[in-house]
Structure 1
Amino acid sequence: MKRAGTAVITAAAALALVQPSAATAATSTTWTAPTCNRVVGDGAVTFTTDLGASLAGTTGTLKPVSYTHGLVALGAPDTLLATRNSELQRSTDAGCSWTRAGSLGSASARLTAGSGTRAFAWEPNGGYLARIDGSTVTPLTSPAASVVGVGTDPADPNHVRLAGNDGRLYDSRNAGATWTATGTPAFPAGTGVYSVTFDAADPNHAVAGAMVRGGAVTTDGGATWTASTGLTSGTSANLFATAVSPANPQVVYGIGIDLAESVPGSGSEGRHLYRSTDGGRAFAKVLDDTAEHKLTNSTLLAPSPTDPNVLHFEYGTYFMGYGTDLFRLDTATGTVTKTHNAFDGVSAIAFNPAHPSVMYLGVEEAGSPS
């Protein structure tokens, strides 16, 4: 069993806390920082104010096998949603207490925040899709056999976009009740599409990642796509996931493999963190997979909400009781710092909208190997 509050700082004693920008500070009248040092709940979500050096304790102990794949801060004051397996949980006090809000039709659903108390739940590479309004979960019919991304429109609470594994975007103007295919696919037919990440500030801007063909970006809602460059020294790459910086949407981070380098014994075996400064059109390698900072195909990417040069990512495993490393990459200085905790993994990260030094962590308990 793992307990929040047992994090050990390993190389980050001098880490500076993230400070709110003028834009986020303006919301401080609606969102507050958590006033507790112990979270009331089953242990699926905790928080840190020092980048993972210490974690808030929880009244409950997470039991195996539990995964918290979905975690979002909503527009409603002090309100967050999280998933634990197929259960939807809700907090209305900035993460100090969590209660059951409903059930989902997927044990691995992700969450995309909408306006107010609205969010959308969706299963990566599965067909499950639902709209959440407060504590009401409304199942929706997906326009694609498999969902690889969902984006919302801050200007219109009923406008939502969905990406299917056919590489095409679908548009809804009635909160997911009906859908219309838009534009052209990001990649040729038959391409395996891993993910599509939408810019939270502009749903017309999205970055797609695929098998072998690497990445592609659209800025016109999928009407046209531009192939991403810089992902490989050869002709092909796998781009597994991307994340658009909330601080500057021209900055996009990615995790992938340069297939020209992916041979056994080649050090990183081609696996890298990438960064783009032009919205996803051109990427550059910023970090290699090493023993000091481990990268996987499913590495979680969480850009800083206030500094486009900073990316948070993680590595965790139950094997040999390893636990989880939380990393902070500063691309301006090229430095990587690390904190460690005893959880089997951190599978979701969200930030307090008005106090971004508060980082919420969705954790997992995979159990010990038999």
Structure 2
Amino acid sequence: MKRAGTAVITAAAALALAHPSSATAATTTAWTVPTCNRVVGDGAVTFTTDEGANLAGTSGTLKPVSYTHGLVALGAGNTLLATRNSELQRSTDAGCSWTHAATLGSESARLTAGTGTRAFAWEPNGGYLARVDGTTVTRLTAPVAAVVGLGTDPVDPAHVRLAGGDGRLYDSRNAGATWTVTGTPAFPEGTGVYSVTFDPTDPDHAVAGAMVRGGAVTTDGGATWTASTGLSSGPANLFGTAVSPADPSVVYGIGVDLAEAVPGSGNEGRHLFRSADGGRTFAKILDDTAEHKLTNSTLLAPSPSDPNVLHFEYGTYFMGYGTDLFRLDAGTGVITKTHNAFDGVSAIAFNPVRPSVMYLGVEEVGTPS
């Protein structure tokens, strides 16, 4: 889906890009591409129009220690949210300027977009949970001590689904005010669950990753789960997954084949995986190498317009290395790499009118000043 010649798109169409069935839930405000060359803000968010070869400058310089864990483009026109440490920031001009919106009760909150101006902030493996409506933040009570994933419903703004570290899904029909446990656990009791990723077009479809037991997928909202195959001939760790917004049958994952993870194995069994059947069956598509470094927490950002394209990163402050941004085309096997001086890129969002515009939430670790 090419949008390069389009300058303006209604929010209804923008939301439909990420949530094809939700065009009627959006406002009529328009999304545009950024019209600035420099981002006004503290430096937590920048953008690139050439997949990382060049980054827009910022008026402020990010100071250590700063992590931008959450970053989403919303259905409301030109509106984005970001979390830097405990601060919630907001942009209403397609990412050209950012202002303080609120202080959150978490230093590492992620964001999941809802419809319109709504989003949810949640802390991985923690209990922090909040709803964001415009500039209003409402603290919510999580039904579990550890949240490992959260998904929203593109056709019902009040419907939200949460995944707990106990391997179960929890459902809310009142925007997170109350919760009901649903279905059965994804894994046997006592299994360490790393993450649960929800399909942005359908909250009934989710992929779970766990310690030793690998992955599991549900397409009925957690009523039943099917164990994923293809991760290993034996046990596997599946740390994180990402469902393609362009085609929900495509799922990417980062994990370790524990049958390969023996001393001296080089990549220690760490691979990038891809599924073409919604997470039921995975295949290895990239090994951890010195050229294409993978970690347990590698950020996976599938293209919203091409299910074959995945963006991922490797960054570290050690010896001033900086960050590599990768673009992998699973159809051709071609990988390209760009580099920047930030200590990491911890969040990626795409401009809804032109997905080639990527917003980057960056981090600066170094030594605190």
RMSD over equivalenced CA pairs, Å: 1.7
Q: Distance in 2 between matches of 1:58 and 1:200?
A: 30
**Tell me, what secondary structure is at the counterpart of 2:46?**
strand
Give the CA deviation at 1:354.
1.0
Residues 55 and 284 of structure 1, relative CA distance in 2, 3 Å threshold: same
Give the CA deviation at 1:143.
0.4
What does 1:146-295 align with in structure 2 at a 5 Å threshold?
A: 146-233=146-233, 235-295=234-294
Give the CA deviation at 1:21.
8.9
Give the CA deviation at 1:264.
2.2
- Would the aligned equivalents of 2:65 and 2:367 in 1 still touch at CA under 8 Å? no
Give the CA deviation at 1:30.
1.7
Q: Distance in 2 between matches of 1:239 and 1:32?
A: 37
- Would the aligned equivalents of 2:9 and 2:30 in 1 still touch at CA under 8 Å? no
Q: Distance in 1 between matches of 2:43 and 2:239?
A: 29
Q: Distance in 2 between matches of 1:264 and 1:67?
A: 33
Counterpart residue number, 1:305: 304
Residues 259 and 22 of structure 1, relative CA distance in 2, 3 Å threshold: farther
**Tell me, what secondary structure is at the counterpart of 1:70?**
strand
CA deviations on 1:2-38 (whole Å, 9 max, x unpaired) are xxxxxxxxxxxxxxxx933999967367210000000
- Would the aligned equivalents of 1:315 and 1:324 in 2 still touch at CA under 8 Å? yes
Q: Distance in 2 between matches of 1:193 and 1:96?
A: 38
Q: Distance in 1 between matches of 2:228 and 2:3?
A: 32
Q: Distance in 1 between matches of 2:89 and 2:278?
A: 33
Q: Compute the TM-score of the two structures, normalised by the length of structure 2.
A: 0.93
- Would the aligned equivalents of 1:319 and 1:369 in 2 still touch at CA under 8 Å? no
Q: Distance in 1 between matches of 2:310 and 2:115?
A: 25
What does 1:1-370 align with in structure 2 at a 5 Å threshold?
A: 19-20=2-3, 27=13, 30-233=30-233, 235-368=234-367
**Tell me, what secondary structure is at the counterpart of 2:30?**
coil
Give the CA deviation at 1:160.
0.1
- Would the aligned equivalents of 2:328 and 2:336 in 1 still touch at CA under 8 Å? yes
Q: Match of 2:262, as an amino acid?
A: V
Q: Distance in 2 between matches of 1:352 and 1:190?
A: 40
Give the CA deviation at 1:205.
0.2
Residues 102 and 369 of structure 1, relative CA distance in 2, 3 Å threshold: closer
Q: Distance in 2 between matches of 1:68 and 1:331?
A: 28
Q: Distance in 2 between matches of 1:269 and 1:19?
A: 39
**Tell me, what secondary structure is at the counterpart of 1:31?**
strand
Q: Distance in 2 between matches of 1:287 and 1:163?
A: 28
Q: Match of 2:344, as an amino acid?
A: G
- Would the aligned equivalents of 2:65 and 2:368 in 1 still touch at CA under 8 Å? no
> Runs in 1 of length 4+ with deviation above 2 angstroms?
18-29
CA deviations on 1:210-242 (whole Å, 9 max, x unpaired) are 000000000000000000000002x20000000
Q: Distance in 2 between matches of 1:322 and 1:230?
A: 34
Give the CA deviation at 1:368.
4.0
Q: Distance in 1 between matches of 2:145 and 2:57?
A: 40
Identity of aligned residues (%): 83
Q: Distance in 2 between matches of 1:21 and 1:207?
A: 32
Counterpart residue number, 1:5: none
Residues 257 and 369 of structure 1, relative CA distance in 2, 3 Å threshold: farther
Q: Match of 1:357, as an amino acid?
A: S
Point out where structure 2 has 5 or more consecutive residues left out of the alignment. Answer: 15-28
Counterpart residue number, 2:17: none
Give the CA deviation at 1:340.
0.0
Counterpart residue number, 2:24: none
- Would the aligned equivalents of 2:194 and 2:239 in 1 still touch at CA under 8 Å? yes
Q: Distance in 1 between matches of 2:224 and 2:256?
A: 25
Q: Distance in 2 between matches of 1:339 and 1:21?
A: 21
- Would the aligned equivalents of 2:198 and 2:205 in 1 still touch at CA under 8 Å? yes
Q: Distance in 2 between matches of 1:264 and 1:180?
A: 45
Q: Distance in 1 between matches of 2:40 and 2:293?
A: 32
Q: Distance in 2 between matches of 1:238 and 1:172?
A: 29
Residues 146 and 162 of structure 1, relative CA distance in 2, 3 Å threshold: same
Aligned length in residues: 352
CA deviations on 1:286-325 (whole Å, 9 max, x unpaired) are 0000000000000000001111011000000000000000
CA deviations on 1:253-311 (whole Å, 9 max, x unpaired) are 00000000011221211000000000000000000000000000000000011110110
Q: Distance in 2 between matches of 1:170 and 1:237?
A: 26
Q: Match of 2:68, as an amino acid?
A: T
